[in-house]
Amino acid sequence: MVSVHFLSCLSFLSALCFQTGMKMLFVVPRGMKKMVDYLKERYDNMPIFVTENGYSSKTEQNERVENLLQDEDRIKFHKAYLAALAGMGQMYVDISYGP
């Protein structure tokens, strides 16, 4: 049984973010901003390195390679997080990206 509260939370989340291929994971770029704000304050603006980011796509078992290459959701994911990171750089946060 699914509660009304749970459904209202899902509708609230869908307005702020979008769902990945794993039904419990959402793309929420503003969450990264909140985390970076916290780390900046807590650790006196130490350099922050983004070492991994990934996206769980919605694929079928026998998906054609041509379809996998047209991955608009992954592009949307990276654009959203990079835009969030770019905005944080303007707030004097020392952010780098690496392997």
Annotate the chain with DSSP letters as a single string: ---HHHHHHHHHHHHH-EE-SSTT-EE-HHHHHHHHHHHHHHTTT--EEE----------TT--HHHHH--HHHHHHHHHHHHHHHHHHTTT--EEE--
* Per annotation, catalytic residue among 52, 60, 66, 72: 52
Catalytic residue list contains 52: yes
So which residues are the catalytic ones? 52
